[in-house]
C-alpha cells in the first residue's frame, strides 16, 4: 500500500462513486477516466460519467497469499467484472457465498474499506462487489403478493 | 532491417540463480560481466557502452543509478552506461537497446547486462515491488498480486479451451526436468505432477509450483558489429531479429484475456523481419513466470493452435526432444527468475545452445532459436531470434 495521502485523496471520485468518462465520438466508456480517448485521440471528446453499478464476472481468483497491506485480510476473492458499457473493473468480491462466485455471475457495487495508509493512519475506502442472485420462484411469488397489498 | 548493421553475440556470462546471501547487487552484476568478457576473449577496454536491465533495485536494495555504478565496478567509467526498465522484460529490452546501438552505427562493441537482487526483502515486500509491473492504482490497490493476475488469465483459458490444472502442472514438471542439467539453475531437481497438484494454492487455480521463484542473479552478453564479431570470435551467434510491443498495464484494458496481444504483435513482426515461420524455430526460451504464461506464449507465438498449448505440453511436444524444445534452460520456473536478468539469461542460453555448449540440456541439431520476454501481465513483450554464424 502506498502511503501518499494526496495519492488516495485525489482518487476519491473514482473509488467512491466509480466516476469514469465516456467518449462522445466513439461511444466508449473508460474507467478509470482518461485524459484522452485512446481510440480517437485528438478527435475524441470525453465527458464525465458514473459507471454502471452492476456487472458480470469475466474471471475470478481466490487469493491465498496477499501483498503487503493485505497480510491480515485472510483469503479473498478478486474478479474482473464487465460493466457492460465497454469498461471493465478489477475488484474484490465480498459478502457472497463461495459457490455463487463463478464466471457469468451478476454482481453489484458495494462501498467498503479497502486498506489503511500505514504510517499516517488514514483509511482508504472504495468499491468492492457482491454477487446478486436471481430471485427464486418463491421469492418472486412473495413479492407479487406483497405488491398486491 | 535493411539499413541496419548486422549484430552478433560473442560472449555470455551468468551467475548462479538462487539465493545469494554472500553477494550484493553490485557483486552479482560484476561477476556476470567479468564472465561474459572472459568468455568473449576481449580485454574489456573495447566495450564502448553498456545497457543494464533491472526492474526494481530501488525497492529491492535501495539502490538506483545503477548504470554508472556497474560501469565503475568494472573499471569502465567513463563509458556511457544506461539502465533499461520494462518490469520483468527489462533484460530483453536492454538486449534490444544494445542491439540497436550497434545496428544504428553508434557503437561497435557493447555489453548488455541484467541484474536483480530480490532476496534482501520479505516475500510480501517482494510481492509489492513486483506488483508495480501491473497497474498500481487499479490492481495493486485492490489487493492484486502477480499470481492473482495470471490466475485470472488461467481461469478464462480453462473455461474457454478446457485447459486443466494438470496440463499447467506439466509445464513446471518439464521445466524442472530441463533445469537439472543447467549448472546455474535455482532448482536442479525434478518434480512430479502430483507434487505440483499438492502444492498449496497461491491464487486459484495457480499453486506454489506453478509460480517462478524469487531469485538473485545476473546475466551478461557482449555484442559486436558482425564484421568485428567474426574477427574476434570463432563462432558468434547472430541476432537475426529484434522486436518490442506494448499493451495496457491493467488486465481491464485488454481486448482479449485468452492471449497476450503484445506477444502476438512482437512475434508476427519477428517472423516478418526474419522471413521465418514458427515451424523454422528449433527451440525457444519463453516467459514462463507462471505455468499458464508458457501455455499462452507457445500459442500466441504460433507454435501451437490457440487452446492446444496445454495438451501439447502434456504430450511432451515441448520437451527437450519434442517437436520444439521450450525453455531448455529450465525457464523462469526451473532456472529462477531474477526479473531484470531473465531476458539476458534467455539470450545467453541461446548463445550456449547454438554453439553446442549446453551439455546435458543440449537441443540436438538446433539452428535457430527464439527468446520471448514479457513484462507485467503482458504489457511489454520483447522478442529476439538467433542463428549460429557460418564463420569462415
Q: CB neighbours of B188 closer than 8 A, spacing ≥ 6?
A: B179, B180, B182
Cβ of A61 under 8 Å from any chain B Cβ? yes
3-state secondary structure B155-218: HHHHHHHCCCHHHHHHHHHHHHHHHCCCCCCCCCCCCCHHHHHHCCEEECCEEHHHECCCCEEE
- Per the annotation, the verdict on B335 as an active-site residue is no
* Beta strands B380-388; B283-285: pairing state: unpaired
Nearest partner of B310 among B207, B149, B173, B148, judged by Cα: B173
Mean pLDDT value of segment B166-172: 98
Mean pLDDT value of segment B66-92: 98
Q: What is the pLDDT of residues B260-276, one digit of tens each?
A: 999 999 999 999 999 99
Q: Are B37 and B258 in contact (CB under 8 A)?
A: no
CA-based nearest residue in chain A for residue B207: A64
Contacting residues of B for A62, CB less than 8 Å apart:
201, 203-204
Set B54, B88, B211, B289: catalytic member: B88
Mutate to test the interface with B, among A16, A86, A90 (most CBs of B within 10 A): A90
- Per the annotation, the verdict on B337 as an active-site residue is yes
Q: Is B364 exposed, middle or buried (0-12, 13-18, 19+ CB in 10 A)?
A: exposed
Cβ of A65 under 8 Å from any chain B Cβ? yes
Mutate to test the interface with B, among A61, A72, A76 (most CBs of B within 10 A): A61
- The CA radius of gyration of chain B, in Å to the nearest whole number, is 19
Set B107, B176, B287, B337: catalytic member: B337
Percent of chain B at pLDDT exceeding 90:
97
Instruction: Report which of residues B226 and A147 the model is more confident about.
Output: B226
Cell numbers found for residue A5: 495521502
3-state secondary structure B23-41: CCHHHHHHHHHHHHHHHHC
From CA B73, how far away is CA B256, in angstroms rounded?
A: 45
From CA B346, how far away is CA B359, in angstroms rounded?
A: 16
From CA B376, how far away is CA B114, in angstroms rounded?
A: 17
pLDDT band with cut points at 50, 70 and 90 for residue A86: confident
CA-based nearest residue in chain B for residue A15: B138
> Could you tell me which residues are beta bridge partners of residue A127?
A111
pLDDT band with cut points at 50, 70 and 90 for residue A3: low
Report the residue from A59, A68, A91 with minimal CB separation from B156: A59
SS3 A6: helix
- What pLDDT is attached to residue A137? 85
pLDDT band with cut points at 50, 70 and 90 for residue A106: very high
Q: Is the pLDDT of residue B244 over 60?
A: yes
Domains and CATH numbers, chain B: 7-122+215-232 (3.40.47.10), 147-211+240-388 (3.40.47.10)
Candidate from A64-68, B151-155, B179-183 with smallest mean pLDDT: A64-68
Residue A23 sits at the vertex; the CA angle it makes with A17 and A27, to the nearest 5 degrees, is: 105
Percent of chain A at pLDDT exceeding 90:
67
Cβ of B238 under 8 Å from any chain A Cβ? no
From CA B137, how far away is CA A32, in angstroms rounded?
A: 9
Q: What is the pLDDT of residues B321-334, one digit of tens each?
A: 999 999 999 999 99
Q: Is the pLDDT of residue B50 over 60?
A: yes
Cβ of A114 under 8 Å from any chain B Cβ? yes
From CA A2, how far away is CA B137, in angstroms rounded?
A: 10
- What pLDDT is attached to residue A1? 47
Percent of chain B at pLDDT exceeding 70:
99
pLDDT band with cut points at 50, 70 and 90 for residue A68: confident
Cell numbers found for residue A143: 413479492
Its sign, for the CA torsion B147, B297, B295, B170, is negative
Mean pLDDT value of segment B240-250: 98
- What pLDDT is attached to residue B367? 96
Q: Is the pLDDT of residue B67 over 90?
A: yes
Q: Is the pLDDT of residue B125 over 90?
A: no
Q: What is the pLDDT of residues B7-21, one digit of tens each?
A: 999 999 999 999 999
Minimum distance, in Å, between the CA of residue A134 and any CA atom of chain B: 22
pLDDT band with cut points at 50, 70 and 90 for residue A117: low
Q: Are B8 and B223 in contact (CB under 8 A)?
A: yes
From CA B348, how far away is CA B12, in angstroms rounded?
A: 5
Mean pLDDT value of segment B177-191: 98
Q: What is the pLDDT of residues B340-358, one digit of tens each?
A: 999 999 999 999 999 999 9
Mark A34-61 as b/e (b = at least 16 C-beta within 10 Å). Answer: eeebeeeeeebebeebebbeebebbbbb
From CA B342, how far away is CA B344, in angstroms rounded?
A: 5
Q: Are A54 and A46 in contact (CB under 8 A)?
A: no
Looking at every residue in chain B, the average pLDDT score rounds to 97
Element at B274 (helix H, strand E): helix B261-274
DSSP E strands, B41-146: 49-53, 81-84, 109-117
pLDDT band with cut points at 50, 70 and 90 for residue B283: very high
Could B124 and A92 be called an inter-chain contact, meaning their C-beta atoms sit closer than 8 Å? no
Total residue length of chain B: 392
Mean pLDDT value of segment B130-144: 93
The strands making up A29-30's β-sheet, listed across from edge to edge, are A29-30, A19-23, A46-50
Residue A20's φ and ψ, nearest 5 degrees, are -125, -155
Could A65 and B202 be called an inter-chain contact, meaning their C-beta atoms sit closer than 8 Å? yes
Candidate from A62-76, B54-68, B234-248, B304-318 with smallest mean pLDDT: A62-76
- What pLDDT is attached to residue A143? 85
pTM: 0.96
pLDDT band with cut points at 50, 70 and 90 for residue A8: confident
Q: What is the pLDDT of residues A16-50, one digit of tens each?
A: 999 999 999 999 999 999 999 999 999 999 999 99
Cβ of B376 under 8 Å from any chain A Cβ? no
Contacting residues of B for A30, CB less than 8 Å apart:
none
Q: Give CA separation, B299 vs A59, B163, B312, B318, B324, in Å.
A: 20, 13, 10, 12, 13
Q: Give CA separation, B133 vs A17, B295, B377, in Å.
A: 26, 21, 8
From CA A129, how far away is CA A91, in angstroms rounded?
A: 7
Q: What is the pLDDT of residues B98-119, one digit of tens each?
A: 999 999 999 999 999 999 999 9
Amino acid at each position: 500500500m502506498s502511503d501518499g495521502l494526496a495519492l488516495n485523496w485525489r482518487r476519491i471520485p473514482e473509488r467512491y462513486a466509480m466516476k469514469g468518462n465516456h467518449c462522445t465520438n466513439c461511444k466508449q466508456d473508460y474507467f478509470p477516466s482518461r485524459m484522452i480517448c485512446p481510440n480517437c485521440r485528438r478527435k475524441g471528446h470525453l465527458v464525465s460519467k458514473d459507471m454502471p453499478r452492476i456487472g458480470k464476472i469475466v474471471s475470478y481468483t481466490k487469493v491465498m497469499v496477499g501483498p503487503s497491506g493485505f497480510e491480515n485480510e485472510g483469503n479473498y476473492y478478486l474478479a474482473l467484472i464487465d460493466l457492460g458499457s465497454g469498461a471493465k473493473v478489477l475488484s474484490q468480491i465480498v459478502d457472497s457465498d463461495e459457490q455463487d462466485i463463478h464466471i457469468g455471475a451478476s454482481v453489484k457495487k458495494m462501498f467498503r474499506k479497502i486498506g489503511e495508509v500505514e504510517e499516517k493512519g488514514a483509511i482508504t475506502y472504495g468499491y468492492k462487489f457482491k454477487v446478486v442472485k436471481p430471485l427464486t420462484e418463491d421469492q418472486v411469488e412473495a413479492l407479487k403478493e406483497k405488491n398486491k397489498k | 532491417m535493411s539499413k541496419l548493421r548486422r549484430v552478433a553475440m560473442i560472449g555470455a556470462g551468468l551467475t548462479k540463480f538462487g539465493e545469494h546471501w554472500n553477494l550484493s547487487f553490485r557483486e552479482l552484476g560484476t561477476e556476470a560481466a567479468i564472465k561474459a568478457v572472459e568468455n568473449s576473449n576481449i580485454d574489456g577496454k573495447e566495450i564502448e557502452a553498456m545497457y543494464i536491465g533491472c526492474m526494481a533495485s530501488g525497492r529491492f536494495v535501495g539502490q538506483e543509478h545503477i548504470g554508472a555504478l556497474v560501469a565503475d565496478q568494472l573499471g569502465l567509467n567513463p563509458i556511457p552506461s544506461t539502465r533499461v526498465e520494462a518490469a520483468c522484460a527489462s533484460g530483453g529490452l536492454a538486449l534490444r537497446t544494445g542491439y540497436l546501438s550497434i545496428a544504428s552505427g553508434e557503437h561497435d562493441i557493447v555489453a548488455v547486462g541484467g541484474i536483480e537482487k530480490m532476496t534482501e526483502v520479505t516475500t510480501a515486500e517482494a510481492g509489492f515491488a513486483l506488483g508495480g509491473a501491473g497497474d498500481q492504482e487499479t490492481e495493486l490497490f485492490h489487493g492484486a498480486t502477480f499470481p492473482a493476475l495470471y490466475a485470472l488469465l488461467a481461469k478464462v483459458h480453462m473455461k474457454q479451451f478446457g485447459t486443466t490444472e494438470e496440463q499447467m502442472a506439466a509445464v513446471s514438471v518439464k521445466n524442472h526436468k530441463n533445469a537439472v542439467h543447467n549448472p546455474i539453475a535455482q532448482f536442479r531437481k525434478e518434480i512430479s505432477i502430483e507434487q505440483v497438484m499438492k502444492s498449496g494454492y497461491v491464487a486459484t487455480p495457480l499453486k506454489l509450483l506453478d509460480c517462478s521463484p524469487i531469485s538473485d542473479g545476473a546475466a551478461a552478453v557482449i555484442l559486436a558489429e558482425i564484421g568485428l564479431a567474426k574477427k574476434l570470435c570463432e563462432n558468434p551467434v547472430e541476432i537475426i531479429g529484434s522486436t518490442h510491443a506494448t499493451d495496457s498495464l491493467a488486465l481491464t484494458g485488454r481486448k482479449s484475456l485468452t492471449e497476450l496481444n503484445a506477444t502476438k504483435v512482437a512475434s508476427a513482426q519477428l517472423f516478418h523481419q526474419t522471413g521465418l515461420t514458427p515451424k523454422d524455430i528449433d527451440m525457444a526460451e519463453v516467459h514462463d513466470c507462471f505455468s499458464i504464461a508458457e501455455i499462452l506464449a507457445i500459442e500466441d507465438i504460433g507454435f501451437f493452435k490457440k487452446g492446444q498449448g496445454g495438451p501439447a505440453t502434456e504430450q511432451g511436444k515441448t520437451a527437450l526432444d519434442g517437436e520444439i524444445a521450450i525453455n531448455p534452460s529450465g525457464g523462469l520456473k526451473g532456472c529462477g527468475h531474477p526479473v531484470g536478468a531473465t531476458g539476458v539469461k534467455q539470450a545467453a542460453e541461446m548463445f550456449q545452445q547454438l554453439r553446442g555448449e549446453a551439455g546435458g540440456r543440449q537441443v540436438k541439431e538446433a539452428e535457430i532459436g527464439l527468446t520471448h520476454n514479457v513484462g507485467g501481465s503482458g504489457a511489454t513483450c520483447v522478442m529476439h531470434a538467433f542463428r549460429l554464424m557460418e564463420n569462415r
